Every structure is written in C-alpha cells, then in structure tokens.
Amino acid sequence: MLAEALVLSAILFVIGTAGVLIRRNAIIMFLCVELQLNAVNLSFVALSQYIGIEGQVFVFFIMTVAAAEAAVGLAIIISIFRHYETVNVDNFNLLKW
C-alpha cells in the first residue's frame, strides 16, 4: 500500500501545482497550495507506518503552520481586495521592488 499511497500523494501534489498555475483567483490559488500541503501530509503518514510515529508528529506541525498561514494569507487577500476590489492576481503587480 505504500507505493500506491505515494503515487496518490504525487498525483494530488501535481494537481495542486496545476491549480496554482492555471487559476487567477487568489483564494483558489491559495486553496491549491493547501492541496499541495495535504499531498505531502499523505506521504508523511504513509511513511510513518514504516519509519515511526515521528512522521505523524510532523504532519501535526504542518497542519498548525497551514492554519497560521491560512489566517494571515486570507487577511492579506482581504486587505488587497479592499484596495483593488478584486482578487484576480493578473491585476496585481505588488511583488516587486
């Protein structure tokens, strides 16, 4: 079951990546990033069966960080939306000096 789980993880990860690349809605891009994180979580859990409980501990930390990230990220999206009245990332070019 290990190999299947890892392949599933890879597939989910790639779908998440594709989502980040082809969507324009900032919230959905964010959602796809969460999907990538979950794909990685799946790998950790699958491997923890063989390697030890530490894999699950790590997943626990990842979830915590994801929660923090979601809070801050959504706050940023709200902030940006207030200014631009849109969440379409094609309309922003803030990330440069």
Partner 1 sequence: MVDILFFVFAATAVGGALGVVLLKNPVSSLLFMVGTLASLAGLFVLMEAHFLAAIQVIVYAGAIMVLFLFVIMLLNLGHDYRDDLKRGLGMFTGFAVAGALAGLLVSQLRGVDDTPLAQHFPGPDALDALLAERGIIGAIAHPLFTDYVVAFELVGILLLVALVGAIVIAKRRV
Partner 2 sequence: MTGIGLLTTGLAAQDAGAGFDPLLPGLILLLPFLGFVANGILALISGVRGADRVRAGETEGHGDSAAGRPLTQSLPTWIGPGVMLVAFVLTLVNFVALLGVELTEPVIRSYWTWMATGTLTVEAALQLDQLSLIMMMVVTGVGFLIHVFSVGYMKEDPGYARYFAYLNLFVFFMLTLVMGANFPMMFVGWEGVGLCSYLLIGFWFQDREKADAGKKAFIVNRIGDFGLLMAMFMLFALFGTLDYVAIFEAAPEVLAYGGFAATAIALFLLLGAIGKSAQVPLYVWLPDAMAGPTPVSALIHAATMVTAGVYLVARASVLFALAPVGAAAVATVGAVTALFAATIALQQYDIKKVLAYSTVSQLGFMFMAVGVGAYAAGVFHLMTHAFFKALLFLGAGAVIHSMHHALHATHKDWDAQDMRNMGGLRRFMPVTWLTMWVATLAIAGVWPFAGFFSKDEIIWFVGTSAPAGALYVVLWAMAIATALLTAFYMTRLMVMTFHGSNRTGEGERPHLHEAPLSMTVPLGILAVLSVVGGWVNVPGSIRESVFGGFGLLPMSDWLDRWMEPVTASAQAIRLEEVGAYAATAPVGGGHVVWGAVATGLALAVVLVGARLVGSREIRPATESEAPEAGVRKLLYNKWYVDEFYDRFIVRPLVGLSRFCWRWIDQVLIDGTVNAVGTVSRGFGWFGSLFQTGQINTYAFIVTLGALALLGVLIF
Site of interaction with partner 2 (CB under 8 A): 17, 20-21, 24, 26, 29, 89-90, 92-97
21 counts as binding partner 1 under rule CB under 8 A = yes
Question: Nearest distance from residue 70's CB to partner 2, in Å?
Answer: 17
Residue 40 binds which of partner 2, partner 1, none (CB < 5-8 A, kind-dependent)? none
Distance from C-alpha of 44 to C-alpha of 46, rounded to nearest angstrom? 5
| Residue 52 contacts partner 1 per CB under 8 A | yes
- Cα separation, 84 vs 5, whole angstroms: 42
**What is the 8-class DSSP label of residue 25?**
B
Distance CA 86, CA 82 (A): 8
Candidates 49, 35, 37; CA nearest to 5 is: 49
Q: Residue numbers of the site for partner 1 (CB under 8 A)?
A: 1-8, 10-19, 21-25, 27-28, 30-32, 34-35, 38, 41-42, 45-54, 56-57, 59-61, 63-72, 74-83, 87-88
